[in-house]
Structure 1
């Protein structure tokens, strides 16, 4: 992988994959829901949508048609820490695709009529999350874990804040955060070096906010224990149990990732085998970890019939208590290591996955570990390391989110 730094500080990371016929390109901006004040809640995500709504040179329809014409995929997403606009195209269409992305990024018109229309679209998107209990229960969990920090807020925002968004708010937000030092362009695939020169010519000259306003997210989030419940007339009861996790730059993060695999990250994990295979208490049960620059979480999720909710939670608690007191086995750790290495290696066989890895690493961590180094780190994790992180993770300090019908007997 190579790195080019433009005169204004915009970084371009590019990795040649000559055996492919595609190129993936992403514009990464260090601006997410963590950077919003209360009045801006949802604005990062709103801007992501608005960049597809037309420029001074192209209508929204023209943007879609031109990408279809070159057979390209274009998409975007917003997270708590970043926004990414990306495309994957055949190698000989790379510069054309980049030209359209540049137009969207620098010349979007943010028409007031389109702003009002998009508010309705995003309200429907928020409603779709609320209509999906396994998504909704997770979003509600974050509001319990980090109630006094933007990291605990949903990315989409809420009706009250969305209703007040306007062109000036968008301009002010982008002036504050869409600055050269916050922008990374990531390329992976069979590209020509002229593409890098083209990107540098387009991104290397603009200037941002010279004042360098501190990010709202500089405030350290503090994990809180708590419980939130929501009654809804649905067939299943859904629960998330959240524990404090680790930040992205923590040296012990791979210890936690391996613990996740053993607890509920795979089909051979303890949660899956005990709750689904042996007891038949749930169809869907798993664990996962989330890590951001300053904080993280370790979460256990399960969805089951209302009458089985208590039995499932008792089993979850018994499994985590057993791991905490007795530790994991050498076989479990060995399997988890091989699973993790395979996930990483197999996941990097596409140009898009390489582009995402490089872009995120540059933007958030400003470092790039080679595959061999990552494998070495995984192999070096000892069983005592995983047992220690389990002991520290599974404590009474936890947050709980439940969505269930009124008929369910809640275990808390």
Structure 2
């Protein structure tokens, strides 16, 4: 398994290195500990907008085309992403071009100019991105879900922001936010693939020498208050009803996270999982059915997501809730526990053949938790989860006062669905 090394520079910048002599490629990823959860109401969307703008020109590379040409010339893969607690920029190239990759990522991260003309053009791009997700109920249901859970606070706002904000965010706003958040102690550089440690360390130190020292402004912690089941519904004239049914969960520091991962694997780990066999195999009522975990530094949730036969939504919800209820009353068999764990271990083995994926796995831990739990240690903790742990977790989380349902579908009302929200 790939070994890693962490280098702490005097200015507070951190470098995570995950080398692989067998790899033909090199990747640099820059993560900054800022995102949608760090924003104010009038600047909601700025983290994502700024991420777009970092590809629009620097002093050294004045236009987007200048940036793209250099990377396209060597067949590079490059992109960026914005989350709730971090934003990232990455370039992957053949191992021979690692110096170019480092130069470009550091350049767009530190020296973006945010040209006024490009800001005006990119407003239209982001507005269309917002429209795209809004028009797709399978995507839009996520927006309703976080709104239901967290309401009018950063954790409940859209990562893309509002159209009003996108029209109003100014170049001054970008410069201020960039200076405030993109700082040394809040930045982590991850390099993975084929490289020499000492050489890359020197290149990174030189490339990021001008990064502003200090730490970014902290996020506003989510406030959670729920005493009864909640539902949010939006009527649309579509064939399916898209749902997210779930509960408030746990944060990334909670030791119950291992039991939650096993619980989730039992429910949705492959085509033989309980959810797939119930909703698709037995009822034939959905094409996609899945569950997932969202865990942040301050909060989290666990939820089922599906697109259902609109005529049978009530029946399917009752069946899913009954399945949940069984976890509270009936211990999971040793055979099913073993199957769920082996599914997880097999999936991780397949994913972590890619050095860049394991580097990302380690990097997000280091950025948010300030330490790394390696692959072997994580699997050891998973193996230690017992049926009793899963049952206790189910009783801790699957409570009526934690239950939430988001829906988009053709129903005239959703009152009948709220009545069945009990476990």
In the superposition, the TM-score normalised over structure 1's length comes to 0.95
Among 36, 53, 56, which residue is 1:53 paired with? Answer: 56
Relative to 1, partners in 2 of residues 1:327 and 1:38: Cα closer, same or farther, differing over 3 Å?
Answer: same
Equivalent in the alignment of 1:79: 83
Equivalent in the alignment of 2:173: 169
List gaps (5 residues or longer) in structure 1. none
Among 34, 39, 44, which residue is 1:41 paired with? Answer: 44
Among 104, 117, 132, which residue is 1:113 paired with? Answer: 117
Equivalent in the alignment of 1:270: 274
SS of aligned partner of 1:401 = strand
Q: What CA distance in whole angstroms lies between the structure 2 residues aligned with 1:346 and 1:408? A: 44
Q: Deviations over 1:345-385 (max 9, x none)?
A: 22111132123122212111111122221121111111100
Equivalent in the alignment of 2:284: 280
Q: Assess if the C-alpha contact under 8 Å between 2:180 and 2:217 holds in 1.
A: no
Among 355, 362, 365, which residue is 1:358 paired with? Answer: 362
Among 394, 404, 411, which residue is 2:409 paired with? Answer: 404
What is the number of equivalent residue pairs in this alignment? Answer: 409
- Find out whether 1:14 has 2:17 as its counterpart: yes
Q: Assess if the C-alpha contact under 8 Å between 1:145 and 1:223 holds in 2.
A: no
Deviation at 1:81, TM superposition (A): 0.2
Equivalent in the alignment of 2:295: 291
Instruction: Provide the alpha-carbon RMSD of the alignment.
Output: 1.6
Relative to 1, partners in 2 of residues 1:139 and 1:34: Cα closer, same or farther, differing over 3 Å?
Answer: same
Equivalent in the alignment of 1:221: 223
Q: What CA distance in whole angstroms lies between the structure 2 residues aligned with 1:259 and 1:89? A: 38
SS of aligned partner of 2:286 = coil
Q: Assess if the C-alpha contact under 8 Å between 2:362 and 2:374 holds in 1.
A: no
Q: What CA distance in whole angstroms lies between the structure 1 residues aligned with 2:140 and 2:113? A: 33
- Find out whether 1:191 has 2:195 as its counterpart: yes
Q: Assess if the C-alpha contact under 8 Å between 1:237 and 1:408 holds in 2.
A: no
SS of aligned partner of 1:26 = strand
Deviation at 1:281, TM superposition (A): 1.5
Q: Deviations over 1:113-165 (max 9, x none)?
A: 11111111011111111122111112211111111431121111111111111
Pairs within 5 Å for 1:7-406: 7-58=10-61, 59-193=63-197, 194-208=199-213, 214-217=217-220, 219-224=221-226, 225-396=229-400, 397-406=402-411
Deviation at 1:31, TM superposition (A): 0.7
Q: What CA distance in whole angstroms lies between the structure 2 residues aligned with 1:202 and 1:240? A: 44
Deviation at 1:205, TM superposition (A): 4.2
In the superposition, the TM-score normalised over structure 2's length comes to 0.93
Q: What CA distance in whole angstroms lies between the structure 1 residues aligned with 2:378 and 2:187? A: 25
Q: What CA distance in whole angstroms lies between the structure 2 residues aligned with 1:360 and 1:350? A: 16
Q: What CA distance in whole angstroms lies between the structure 2 residues aligned with 1:330 and 1:147? A: 40
Deviation at 1:223, TM superposition (A): 5.0
Q: What CA distance in whole angstroms lies between the structure 2 residues aligned with 1:359 and 1:301? A: 28
Q: What CA distance in whole angstroms lies between the structure 2 residues aligned with 1:223 and 1:282? A: 32
Q: What CA distance in whole angstroms lies between the structure 1 residues aligned with 2:88 and 2:308? A: 35
Q: What CA distance in whole angstroms lies between the structure 2 residues aligned with 1:336 and 1:344? A: 13
List gaps (5 residues or longer) in structure 2. 419-423
SS of aligned partner of 1:368 = coil
Find runs of 4+ consecutive structure 1 residues off by over 4 angstroms: 407-410
